[in-house]
Amino acid sequence: MRKKIEGRTRLRLIPGGLHCEMSFDHVRIVAAPQNSPPFDVEGLAFEEDTWLVMSAEPKASEPQEHPIRLMTSLIEAKPERLGSVLIQGNHPLRFLAVVHDVNQEPTWKEEWIESALREIFRKAEQRKLQAIGLPLLGTLHGRLENLRFAVLLGRALKQATFNHLRRLWLITSPIITSEIIEMLEAELFRNSSC
């Protein structure tokens, strides 16, 4: 936005933008959209259900196994534990956060999301990762409010110990980057005295 002052045009910075950030316990936390990553990540979280359907390949392919073995595998399959995190892939690692049970309504619960967040941080530290990407779990395939996710994330961050993690990318809509960071700051520093 331009403003004329005594014959000169002065440029004024408009608040907002694609990225918004803060720091907590030596971790730089940046809220930014999917198409504007603030840094490279070594691990990336995904919202998942107990049967791992949400992360399955959308295209059909010919099974490599004999049909009887395939049917036996399906019969013996067990759902993953809610709140747990499975790891797949290499670079970046895929953290499959099991926060949905499609047999329930709603399919998610806050305690599952909070448990998965703690598990993501624990597993990232175990693997000595320095940068991870995290969508707002429960908001993509569920109806958890974005700002409520920030509260759950704040709780998980306060319980975590970070020796290796230095950068956390919160994958958000560009519209809510500043609100997410503001709510997260409010949750993290609520009881601190200045």
**What CATH number does residue 37 fall under?**
3.40.220.10
pLDDT classification of 190: cutoffs 50, 70, 90:
confident
Q: What's the CA gap between 96 and 136, in Å, rounded?
A: 13
Please say if the pLDDT value at position 73 is more than 90.
no
pLDDT band at 1 (very low <50, low <70, confident <90, very high): very low
Packed helices 177-188 and 146-159: angle between N→C axes, nearest 10 degrees = 40
This prediction has a pTM of 0.84
Q: Is residue 34 part of a domain?
A: yes
Give the pLDDT mean for 136-164.
Answer: 96
Number of independent structural domains in the chain: 1
- Whether pLDDT at 60 is above 80: no
The answer to the question of residue 24 being in a domain is: yes
| Strand runs labelled E in the chain | 2-5, 8-11, 20-24, 27-32, 43-49, 85-88, 93-100, 131-135, 167-171
Domain membership of residue 10 (yes or no) is: no
What single DSSP character describes residue 163? S
pLDDT band at 62 (very low <50, low <70, confident <90, very high): confident
HSE-up of 44 (CA within 13 Å, CB side)? Answer: 11
Residue 28 lies in a domain: yes
Q: What is the pLDDT of residues 106-121, one digit of tens each?
A: 999 999 999 999 999 9
State the pLDDT at residue 64. Answer: 81
- Domain membership of residue 169 as a residue range: 19-55+65-188
Whether 25 is in a domain gets the answer yes
Cα distance between residue 67 and residue 5, in whole Å: 78
Quickly state the pLDDT bin for 63 (edges 50, 70, 90).
confident
Spell out the residues 6+ positions from residue 120 whose beta carbon is closer than 8 angstroms to its own: 43, 45, 85, 95, 97, 132, 134
Q: Is the peptide bond before 92 cis (omega within 30 degrees of 0)?
A: yes
